[in-house]
């Protein structure tokens, strides 16, 4: 609550006053926890301080799941009264409409409210609009549209913002009975759509410097860069990592380093905060699965970014375009998605009963991979039948195996990139680093091409991580030809210069 960047800076500021001056109805959409409500509250206070308009914030979240107009619309009317009573002078608080049908209750209330505010224009900032659905949503918009043509001082709100996670066109598609709604009816009052972008690297630095100015505690340059890298500038993640550092991990005022940020990331993921859990829950949605699975698997799909499913994932903040290529939005979300998808597998893997460290304390990767090969042979086909995200099942199972065996004693970093048919894992264990590159044989490429690509990729990854790291390329062959091999043929170990190749 102490440090904040003005959310207006992440909107095209030149347009904000135009929305008022030209009496426009408009949409603001952005993922959860990006600052939409903070912006609305801040802008409301700014507008009211100008004394040129009467602006009021109203959340309609209390109506979530209520599709019956006769129940939901009166609830919205009560929300208007409640919020106006908290935000405005008592002279500007409308009454609950009496003896008015639900289908026209809002329009009647808004007309009365505009009259109370005269000679000032009335501006309403509706939050959580996408929690409305079905007939309730359609009725809400139709009543707004009904007054739109006559809007003006003393007659009807001159400007209305509809705010939620998704753009109006994306969630206003069907009425309750599944009949497509006439797009020329409740939807054509919207003039523009805006979104709140994430923080830039400079804004992350500016936010963290506020803490330094207030307390003297410094975030090192490396730690600031790591915050931005891990979060992609997602505001809630930035704030949460910083908060974990200053309130739990580094409470003595000493400088906060990149290692502290990494520790905060681990604590955040393990805590299963509501924001993180809500994203993970979205993986059950078939529309989300259609986008997330090929990104994790690294499949090149020229149609991936087409259609409503991709826009949904963008609006949820799960995916982003990285250099024009669809990818998971940031490394923290990538960790969350992978850990969520293989959590059940991890719990089902028996506790290790073999020695998997060497005399010098380093990992015995040969023992680990021999054990996994036996486990894969016994359980792979059966477990795949029960898997939901089947295209990334081998990747997820191998990662679950290492997570289970190492049991928090190592730091596992996972990377996935669309279009490269691979997933990387870096294990850091007691000062040692181990690169594991995971690939699937694609039928159109074959085993030799997959091996060549894998060796090239792990070589590039070793340049980034360091040549002192061990390098293991794991290749799963789930093609019909691969499955037709005997297990003795499938489970092979090869060496290519510094790289150990394990065929599974």
> Which tens digit of pLDDT belongs to each residue from 437-494?
999 898 888 999 999 999 998 988 888 888 899 999 999 999 999 999 999 999 999 9
Question: For position 121, what pLDDT does the model report?
Answer: 96
Domain 7-194 has CATH 3.40.640.10: no
User: Given a cut of 70, is residue 378 above it in pLDDT?
Assistant: yes
pLDDT of residue 330: 92
Out of 37-46, 114-123, 161-170, 370-379, which region has the weakest mean confidence (pLDDT)? 161-170
What pLDDT does 421 receive? 47
Report the alpha-carbon distance of residue 163 to residue 157 in Å, rounded. Answer: 16
Which has more pLDDT, 51 or 280? 51
Q: Check if 7-194 and 201-271 are the same fold.
A: no
Strands 470-476 and 411-417: unpaired
CA nearest neighbour of 422 among 387, 385, 384, 460 = 460
* Cβ–Cβ < 8 Å for 260, 243: no
| 226 vs 218: CA distance, rounded Å | 14
* Edge-to-edge strand list for the sheet holding 411-417: 411-417, 422-429, 432-440, 470-476, 499-503, 492-496
Alpha carbons 94 and 112: distance in angstroms, whole number: 7
pLDDT at 263 over 90: yes
Could you identify the residue written with the tokens 């375009």?
Answer: 321
Contacts of range 169-175, beta carbons closer than 8 Å, 24 or more positions apart: 170/308, 170/311, 170/312, 170/315, 171/130, 171/133, 171/137, 172/137, 172/138, 172/141, 175/134, 175/135, 175/138
Task: Lowest mean pLDDT of 47-51, 175-179, 271-275, name the range.
Answer: 175-179
Instruction: Tell me what pLDDT residue 175 has.
Output: 38
Question: In whole angstroms, what is the distance from residue 356 CA to residue 127 CA?
Answer: 54
Q: What is the pLDDT of residue 340?
A: 86
Bridge partners of 59, per DSSP, are 127
Average pLDDT, whole number, for the chain? 87
Total length of the chain:
504
- pLDDT, tens only, 406-444: 876 788 887 655 444 456 788 989 889 999 999 989 888
For the domain made up of 201-271, give the CATH fold: Helicase, Ruva Protein; domain 3 (1.10.8)
Share of the chain above pLDDT 70, in %: 91
- H or E element: which one contains 404? helix 393-406
Radius of gyration of the chain (CA): 27
**Boundaries of every domain in the chain:** 7-194, 201-271, 345-503
What ranges make up the beta strands (E) of 214-370?
319-322, 325-328
Cα–Cα distances in Å, from 29 out to 20, 39, 269, 286, 356? 18, 12, 26, 22, 50
**219 near 208, Cβ under 8 Å?**
yes
Residue-wise pLDDT for 325-364, tens only, equals 888 999 999 888 888 888 888 888 887 777 888 888 889 9
CA distances from 394 to 352, 383, 391, 474 (A): 19, 10, 8, 10
* SS3 (DSSP) at 430: coil
Tokens representing 209 are 């410097």
More confident residue, 303 or 156: 156
In Å, what is the CA distance from 488 to each residue of 194, 299, 491, 493, 504? 58, 29, 6, 11, 10
pLDDT at residue 179 in the model = 43
Higher pLDDT, 418 or 161: 161
């Amino acid at each position: 609550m102490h440090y904040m960047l003005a959310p207006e800076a992440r909107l095209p500021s030149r347009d904000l006053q135009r929305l008022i001056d030209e009496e426009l109805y408009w949409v603001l959409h952005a993922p959860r926890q990006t600052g939409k409500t903070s912006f609305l509250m801040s802008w409301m206070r700014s507008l009211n301080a100008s004394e040129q308009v009467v602006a009021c914030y109203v959340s309609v979240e209390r109506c979530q799941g209520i599709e019956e107009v006769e129940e939901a619309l009166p609830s919205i009317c009560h929300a208007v009264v409640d919020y106006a009573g908290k935000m405005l002078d008592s002279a500007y608080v409308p009454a609950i409409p009496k003896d008015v049908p639900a289908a026209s209750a809002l329009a009647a209330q808004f007309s009365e409210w505009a009259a109370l505010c005269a000679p000032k224009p009335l501006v309403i900032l509706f939050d959580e609009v996408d929690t409305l659905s079905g007939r309730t949503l359609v009725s809400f918009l139709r009543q707004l549209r009904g007054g739109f043509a006559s809007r003006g001082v003393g007659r009807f709100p001159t400007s209305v913002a509809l705010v939620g996670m998704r753009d109006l066109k994306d969630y206003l598609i069907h009425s309750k009975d599944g009949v497509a709604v006439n797009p020329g009816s409740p939807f054509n009052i919207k003039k523009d759509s805006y979104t709140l972008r994430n923080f830039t690297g400079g804004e992350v630095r500016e936010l963290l410097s506020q803490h330094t100015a207030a307390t003297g505690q410094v975030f090192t340059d490396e730690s600031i860069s790591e915050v931005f890298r891990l979060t992609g500038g997602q505001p809630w993640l930035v704030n949460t990592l910083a908060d974990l550092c200053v309130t739990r991990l580094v409470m003595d005022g000493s400088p906060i380093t990149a290692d502290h940020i990494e520790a905060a990331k681990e604590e955040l993921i393990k805590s299963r905060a509501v924001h993180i859990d809500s994203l993970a829950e979205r993986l059950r949605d078939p529309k989300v699965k259609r986008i997330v699975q090929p990104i994790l698997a690294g499949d090149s799909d020229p149609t991936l970014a087409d259609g409503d499913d991709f826009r949904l994932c963008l609006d949820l903040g799960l995916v982003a375009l990285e250099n024009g290529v669809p990818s998971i939005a940031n490394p923290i979300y990538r960790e969350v998605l992978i850990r969520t998808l293989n959590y059940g597998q991890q719990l089902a893997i028996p506790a290790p009963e073999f020695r998997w460290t060497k005399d010098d304390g380093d990992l015995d990767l040969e023992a680990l991979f021999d054990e996994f090969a036996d486990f894969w042979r016994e359980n792979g086909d059966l477990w795949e039948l029960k898997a939901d995200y089947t295209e990334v099942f081998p990747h997820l199972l191998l990662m679950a195996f290492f997570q289970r065996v190492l049991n928090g004693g190592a730091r596992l970093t996972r990377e996935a990139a669309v279009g490269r048919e691979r997933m990387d894992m870096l294990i850091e264990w007691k000062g040692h680093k181990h690169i594991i590159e995971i690939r699937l044989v694609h039928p159109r490429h074959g085993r030799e091409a997959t091996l060549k690509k894998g060796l090239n990729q792990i070589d590039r990854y070793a340049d980034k991580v360091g040549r002192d790291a061990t390098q293991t390329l794991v290749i799963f062959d789930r093609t019909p030809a691969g499955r037709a091999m005997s297990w003795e043929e499938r489970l092979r170990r090869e060496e290519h210069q510094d790289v150990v190749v394990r065929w599974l």
